[in-house]
Structure 1
């Protein structure tokens, strides 16, 4: 029986090191986790139904950008934008996809673009860029997030 008590005493003295550990601070853990997140990239890029079946991340992103550029070009080709501004062959459009799957389009003009009526081009773009197919927002850690990108849109004159 003495050996049993000695054994129990030995276990208690040896196991004290397991009870003495400090629990990490909640704020420290949060800061460490926030620093480990790459805020410049998303886990899944925005997507349209045509691109949903693609499993590769880069190919799905490329499919989405090509589809969006094509849709914007189709919507702008019906307009008189190429007739009003024949020297304007490409417009960069800043596309914002919000977490609630809505989109916003803003034309991006060079700083010295006094040759164009930017207000008129902006109003034409806003009137034409409606009725897009449903876009699934980008996903970061399982949460829909806002994303922005700039698409070069080629205006074809017919």
Structure 2
């Protein structure tokens, strides 16, 4: 009987050594593998404002945010003389950048061949009008606030 127990322990010791022969991956290898899995072009949650937070459907929340942002920009620009100074411009593309610290930056986007109007003047009007903007909550990626950028078409109305 002792012979069987001795044989059993020898076999158990030999098979358990197979599991310890495997090379353990380093932390760096595991990190790189995990980083490759992440789609860095998409966010888990888009930027939003407090008025849209109650909406549970992600698509509707995103639409609420973009509609609110576009409408607010249009209202602020319609107060100014941008449409009067440049009546040929009916729509202006505005590049919006929302930073992780909830700050926001606006940049007008012009066609590459446009020389009909003063870009610096339009840019300064845009920056002077788009101040005191409501608080925007940044986009979230894996629980961390991230920077996002998008372009909104803003329609200029002459009233």
TM-score normalised by L of structure 2:
0.94
Match of 2:137 in 1: 136
Match of 2:49 in 1: 48
In 2, distance between residues paired with 1:5 and 1:60?
68
Match of 2:69 in 1: 68
**Cα deviations by residue, 1:52-101 (Å, 9 ceiling, x for unpaired):** 11222222222111111010001011111111111110000000000100
In 1, distance between residues paired with 2:119 and 2:11?
83
1:15 partner SS: helix
- Taking the TM superposition and a 5 Å limit, the aligned residue runs for 1:1-158 are 2=2, 3-158=4-159
TM-score normalised by L of structure 1:
0.94
Superposed displacement of residue 136, structure 1: 0.5
**Cα deviations by residue, 1:77-135 (Å, 9 ceiling, x for unpaired):** 11111111111100000000001000000000111211111111111110000111111
The runs of at least 4 aligned residues of structure 1 exceeding 6 Å deviation read none
1:139 partner SS: strand
Superposed displacement of residue 5, structure 1: 2.6
Superposed displacement of residue 28, structure 1: 2.1
In 1, distance between residues paired with 2:19 and 2:96?
55
In 1, distance between residues paired with 2:133 and 2:50?
12
2:121 partner SS: helix
Total equivalences in the alignment:
158
